[in-house]
Amino acid sequence: MIRNKKAKVHHGFAPGYFLMAGFIFLAMAFVLLLITSQYMKAFRVHHKDIPTHIYAYRAVNTCLAYQDNITKRYYPGVIDFSKYNQENLDACYVDTSIRSFNIQLRDLDKKESYNRILVGFGASMSIKSYPVWIMYSDGTINKGELLFGIS
Amino acid sequence: MNKRAELTLLRIGTILAGILVAFILVMIVYKATSQEGAESAFLAKDSAMFIDAILSTPQDVQIVYPEEFIKWYIRLDNLSVSIFHSQPEPNETSPYSYYFVPRADIKVQGRDLKLSTLFFIKSGDNFTISNIPEQGGEKLND
């Protein structure tokens, strides 16, 4: 099995022998990598959507949130429509070398979608929807949603 | 040397090489799965996510991190959190670092701390870490 009688062995070279040895080494490496991967998996305790929620709530609760002029109190979940622009969102997520953001505001009462704003280098694969209220400069408040994705 | 001897030598060499490769693989796995390494990586990532969450919270906030790792050190700088197993030098880097996304309106006051009780403090337009809580109304400075 290891040595083919027809294929003469030159200077001790036995192809079948090396194939079997190589296969055993690969199998050993595979098993060890599998064990390591399973071990490290135990420490990946954070749900994959947590970063998306954290960054989305930064926009919803602070950067885009309506702020009372006198008390300076933020109203989480109430979007000040005048804040929804590229400049504000660029200041909200300063370093985009690792993450980029895809944000779009929709007014569900008017059935209107506003411009999508990209912060960073590219589009996102997974977009999530967050219910919000949109406050306009004339004082009207409409039901809306913020579509948010990160990559 | 005759062919039989050459083949025997080859087999011994292959077995020795196999033992060496197995030893190297086991050492790599041992190092990768060390508890300290895994804990340090987790702590860096968790701390960075904690900071992202605090930067996403309106008004002033002060939170105590629930874990205590008294033997280690933490470094906060403008973009990342790093964990060191010994007192770090100023320019030293750590393999256990994780990035967070800062805000333009909040200044991160970087510092090195020995890890005991760890407070994350956002006050006004400043953010930092400390071993003691900020006392009411006291301005943050280094």
Contact check, Cβ <8 Å, A32/B53:
no
* B49: nearest CB among A28, A51, A73: A51
Which residues in B lie closer than 8 A to residue A39 (C-beta atoms)? 33, 38
Q: Does one domain contain both B98 and B43?
A: yes
Which residues in B lie closer than 8 A to residue A96 (C-beta atoms)? 101
Triad A101, A105, A108: Cα angle to 5°: 150
> What's the pLDDT at A21?
73
Asked if the ipTM is above 0.90, the reply is no
Q: Does one domain contain both A26 and A78?
A: no
Full DSSP string of A6-69: SS--STT--HHHHHHHHHHHHHHHHHHHHHHHHHHHTT--S-TTHHHHHHHHHIIIIISEEE-T
The reply to whether B142 falls in a domain is no
Does A121 reach chain B within 8 Å, measured CB to CB? no
Confidence of residue B68 (pLDDT cuts 50, 70, 90): low
The reply to whether B92 falls in a domain is yes
In whole angstroms, give the CA distance from residue A8 to residue A12.
Answer: 9
Confidence of residue B138 (pLDDT cuts 50, 70, 90): very low
Q: Does one domain contain both B40 and B75?
A: yes
Helix (H) or strand (E) run with residue B7 in it: helix B3-32
| Number of compact structural domains in chain B | 2
Scan residues 95-114 of A and list those with Cβ closer than 8 Å to B.
Answer: 95-96, 98-99
Q: Does one domain contain both B69 and B41?
A: yes
Q: Does one domain contain both B46 and B112?
A: yes
Q: Does one domain contain both A41 and A95?
A: no
In whole angstroms, give the CA distance from residue B2 to residue B33.
Answer: 46
Which residues in B lie closer than 8 A to residue A12 (C-beta atoms)? 3, 6-7, 9-10
The reply to whether B141 falls in a domain is no
Q: Does one domain contain both A36 and A74?
A: no
Q: Does one domain contain both A36 and A88?
A: no
Task: Assess whether pLDDT exceeds 60 at residue A119.
Answer: yes
Which residues in A lie closer than 8 A to residue B22 (C-beta atoms)? 28
Residue B127 near residue B106 (C-beta atoms within 8 A): yes
Q: Does one domain contain both B88 and B125?
A: yes
Q: Does one domain contain both B1 and B66?
A: no
The reply to whether B47 falls in a domain is yes
Q: Does one domain contain both B85 and B117?
A: yes
In whole angstroms, give the CA distance from residue B8 to residue B117.
Answer: 63
Which residues in B lie closer than 8 A to residue A41 (C-beta atoms)? none
Q: Does one domain contain both B106 and B39?
A: yes
Instruction: Give the structural domain span for A14.
Output: 1-45
pLDDT tens per residue across span A3-33: 555 555 555 456 777 777 777 778 777 877 7
- Determine the distance in angstroms separating the CA of B52 from the nearest CA of chain A, rounded to an integer: 7
Full DSSP string of A87-128: HHHHHHS---SS--EEEEEEETTTTEEPPPEEESSS--SEEE
Contact check, Cβ <8 Å, A55/B104:
no
Residue A120 near residue A96 (C-beta atoms within 8 A): yes
Residue A121 near residue A100 (C-beta atoms within 8 A): yes
Instruction: Give the structural domain span for B48.
Output: 35-130
Q: Does one domain contain both B88 and B100?
A: yes
Contact check, Cβ <8 Å, B10/A91:
no
Contact check, Cβ <8 Å, B56/A39:
no
Q: Does one domain contain both A40 and A97?
A: no
| Number of compact structural domains in chain A | 2
Mean pLDDT of A66-73: 91
